[in-house]
Amino acid sequence: MTKIAHKLESGTMLPFAWDPYPYQQHALERYFGEDGKPAQTRQIHVWSRRLGKDRYSMELAALASQRRVMNIWHLFPMHKQARVAIWNGVDPVSGARFLDQTFPLDMIARRSDAQMMLEFCNGSTYQMLGSDAYNSVVGSNPGLVIFSEYALSDPMSWTYISPIIRQNGGGAVFISTYRGKNHHFRLAEQVKADPEWLVTFENVDTAKKADGTAVYPRAAAEKELVHMDKARWKEEFLNIPCIALEGAYFARELGEADEKGRTALAALTKHGSPVGAAWGWAHSHHVWCVLFQLDGEQVNIIGAMHWQFTDPYAAMIELEGSVPDGVHLHVLPAVASEGVPGETLEEHFEECASKHVYVAQAIDLHAGIDTVRRLLPKVHFAAAASEYFDALTEFRSGGARIDEDRLAVATRPVNDSGSVAAAAMMLVADFKASGEPIAREACELDWTQRNIRRQLA
């Protein structure tokens, strides 16, 4: 392997006080293209616990900052986490601060604790941020962005940053363990065959030092089983993703569906049978439309559509004709449309293309969760609905997040793609329980109720 190094004007060598493991050295060589092959400046590293994820990230930032003058962002899931974990963090082995181990004093021109930023003598900057506050740096042009624990980060941050990096000819590194089959898992699967990307996997069994010994012995990792669920342990230390996130409401039911082969089915659509469309949207800026068919007691999810930052009515226009003989499911309270004053989205949908809308009464959150749990053993998911299945696995309690304004644990579900996907499934469960068929003529909209809503709008 080629030793990646840089000599500062002061004579200090980078890396500073760091001897990379072979897999870290390989990742550095691929980023800088110093092994005779084209550089891969977009990288995803799925490394399990205790394998040096953040140390690699910081050392990469130090070296990259001296190859080219640039702004470097090191994004953590939350802004405060960056300060606690790394900016103020201390290496328990050496007793030195993580920053001091990576960035020697003679390469730093200015340091801002308030901004968690280092300005180097050559003009480059390194700044720690949170994916929850990426909008605060709108207008900046980073040359390298590092996502630490991307599985826990806001995926919209990469949606915003990606075109900036491409235009700048910069780099992006995602380094994380899995957290279910969420956006981190999906991104790794999508790009692992793309030559522009380097995707690596290391766990406690595969990660070795130069002498062949384990970086983190499996025996030490297995001691965590005393207080850790087996499935979660496999995810943390073996890179085997759980079907659902920790705290997911439907973890058991969806795990059972996967084990029993009721997911990713190739031929599930029953031709000649009507198709229903259950809609979910919320202030999270996600819209889900779930296409389903009824087959006796069985419910087949034959497809799903997902939009972000799209008006539900615009999504309906895009879907026009997909359910010509079916029903569109919505829930009260009706949402005012941006089109005709006083007109609800449900009315807008009916006038547009569906001509047939089933409006469910407002569904209590916990009652809806219980209804879906009872329905899921009867649900089959087509391969075309795999993204929707994954979104359901992300529907979880907000208990893992802190309401920083009240300094209290959140008790409501996280308002994201998973919660909107679950809202659509609650409508399917409500419709199934109503006993109504999907056929259009059997489910006319209640015009009396419609007129009352119009008057109240």
pLDDT digits (tens, 9 = 90+) for 360-405: 777 788 888 999 999 999 999 999 999 899 889 888 765 434 344 4
Is the pLDDT at 350 greater than 60? The verdict is no
Across residues 191-196, what is the average pLDDT? Answer: 95
pLDDT at 383: 92
Note whether 26 and 60 are within 8 A (CB). no
- Cα Rg of the chain (Å, integer): 25
Note whether 386 and 262 are within 8 A (CB). no
Angle between helices 417-434 and 365-375 (to 10 degrees): 70
pLDDT at 432: 92
Residue 428's CB is within 10 A of a number of other CB atoms, namely 23
Is the pLDDT at 46 greater than 60? The verdict is yes
Is the pLDDT at 35 greater than 60? The verdict is yes
pLDDT at 51: 95
pLDDT at 238: 96
Is the pLDDT at 339 greater than 50? The verdict is no
The pTM (predicted TM-score) of the whole model is 0.72
Note whether 184 and 176 are within 8 A (CB). yes
Is the pLDDT at 265 greater than 50? The verdict is yes
CA diameter of the chain: 82
pLDDT at 286: 86
pLDDT digits (tens, 9 = 90+) for 146-178: 999 999 888 888 988 999 999 999 999 999 999
62 confidence band (pLDDT: 50, 70, 90): very high
Across residues 24-51, what is the average pLDDT? Answer: 94
pLDDT digits (tens, 9 = 90+) for 268-287: 888 888 888 898 887 557 88
361's tokens: 């009464």
**Alpha-carbon span 144 to 158, nearest angstrom:** 12
- SS3 category, 72: strand
Which amino acid would we find at residue 70?
M
pLDDT at 222: 96
Question: Domains in the chain, please, with CATH?
Answer: 6-238 (3.40.50.300), 251-456 (3.30.420.280)
Q: Considering Cα of 106, then 42, then 218, then 234, what sign does the dihedral take? A: positive
Measure the CA dihedral 323/325/329/333, to 10°: 110
CA 259 to chain centre: 23
**Alpha-carbon span 302 to 270, nearest angstrom:** 9
Across residues 287-314, what is the average pLDDT? Answer: 89
340 confidence band (pLDDT: 50, 70, 90): very low
